[in-house]
Amino acid sequence: MEKLYEGKAKILYRTDDPEVLLTVFKDDATAFNAQKRGQIQGKGAINCAIASALLQGLETLGIPTHYLSQPQPTEMFVKAVKIVPVEVVVRNIAAGSLCKQTGLPLGQVLPFPLVEFYLKDDALGDPLLTRDRLLVLGIVNEAEIETLQTLALAINQHLIHFFNQCQITLVDFKLEFGYDAQGTLLLADEISPDTCRLWDQTQSDPTAKVLDKDRFRQDLGQVEAAYQTVQQRVLAQIQDWHGK
Applying CB under 6 A, which residues contact ligand ADP?
5, 7-10, 12, 21, 66, 78-81, 83, 176, 178, 188-189
Considering the complex, state which of residue 94 and residue 129 has its C-beta at the smaller distance from ligand ADP.
129
Q: Strands, DSSP E only, in the chain?
A: 3-6, 10-14, 20-25, 28-31, 36-39, 67-72, 75-79, 82-83, 86-93, 109-119, 128-129, 168-179, 185-188, 196-200
Q: Strands, DSSP E only, in 75-184?
A: 75-79, 82-83, 86-93, 109-119, 128-129, 168-179
In the complex, least distance from residue 208 CB atom to ligand ADP, rounded to whole angstroms: 28
In the complex, least distance from residue 79 CB atom to ligand ADP, rounded to whole angstroms: 6
Is the CB of residue 20 less than 8 Å from the CB of residue 80? yes
Q: Contacts with Mg ion: how many residues (CB under 5 A)?
A: 1
Considering the complex, state which of residue 54 and residue 80 has its C-beta at the smaller distance from ligand ADP.
80
21 binds, among ligand ADP, Mg ion, none (CB under 5 to 8 A by kind): ligand ADP
Give SS3 for 4.
strand
Mark 2-21 with x for binding to Mg ion (rule: CB under 5 A) and - for no binding: -------x------------
12 binds, among Mg ion, ligand ADP, none (CB under 5 to 8 A by kind): ligand ADP
Q: Residue 48: how many CB atoms within 10 A of its CB?
A: 24
90 binds, among Mg ion, ligand ADP, none (CB under 5 to 8 A by kind): none
In the complex, least distance from residue 30 CB atom to Mg ion, rounded to whole angstroms: 9
d(Cα 50, Cα 146) in Å, to the nearest integer?
28
In the complex, least distance from residue 133 CB atom to ligand ADP, rounded to whole angstroms: 20
| Backbone φ, ψ for residue 187 (5° rounding) | -70, 125
In the complex, least distance from residue 163 CB atom to ligand ADP, rounded to whole angstroms: 21
Q: Residue 236: how many CB atoms within 10 A of its CB?
A: 11
Considering the complex, state which of residue 147 and residue 165 has its C-beta at the smaller distance from ligand ADP.
147
Residues that bind Mg ion (CB under 5 A): 9
